[in-house]
Amino acid sequence: MQNSTSALNVSIIGGGIAGVALALDLCRHAHLNVQLFEAAPAFGEVGAGVSFGANAVRAIAGLGIAEPYGKIADSNPAPWQDIWFEWRNGRNAKYLGCSVAEGVGQSSVHRADFLDALASQLPDGIAQFGKRAQRVEQDGDQVRVTFTDGTEHRCDLLIGADGIKSSIRDHVLQGLNQPLVSPRFSGTCAYRGLIDSQQLREAYRARGVAEHLIDVPQMYLGLDGHILTFPVKQGRLINVVAFISDRSQPNPVWPSDTPWVRNSTQAEMLAAFEGWDDAAQVLLECIPTPSLWALHDLAELPGYVHGRVGLIGDAAHAMLPHQGAGAGQGLEDAWLLARLLEDPKVLDKRPQAVLDAYDEVRRPRACRVQRTSFEAGELYEFRDPAVLADEDLLGKVLAERFDWLWNHDMQEDLLQARELLGLHARAA
Catalytic residues: 192
CA gap 375, 1 in Å, rounded: 44
Task: State whether the Cα torsion 312-303-251-397 is positive or negative.
Answer: negative
- φ, ψ of residue 118 in degrees (nearest 5): -70, -50
Tell me the C-alpha to C-alpha distance, in Å, between residue 267 and each of 139, 270, 277, 285: 56, 5, 17, 9
Tell me how far CA of residue 185 lies from CA of 182, 189, 255, 318, in angstroms: 10, 9, 9, 12
For residue 412, how many other CB atoms are within 10 A of its CB? 10
**How many angstroms separate the CA atoms of 254 and 186, rounded?**
9
Q: Is the distance from CB of 154 to CB of 58 less than 8 angstroms?
A: no
Cα angle 190-166-130, degrees, rounded to a multiple of 5: 100
Q: Which phi and psi angles does 85 have, rounded to 5°?
A: -145, 150
Task: Report which DSSP code applies to 188.
Answer: E
329, 18 in Cβ contact below 8 A? no
Q: Return all residues near 125 (Cβ < 8 A) that are at least 6 apart.
A: none
Query: Nearest 5 degrees, angle CA 355-CA 365-CA 410?
Result: 75
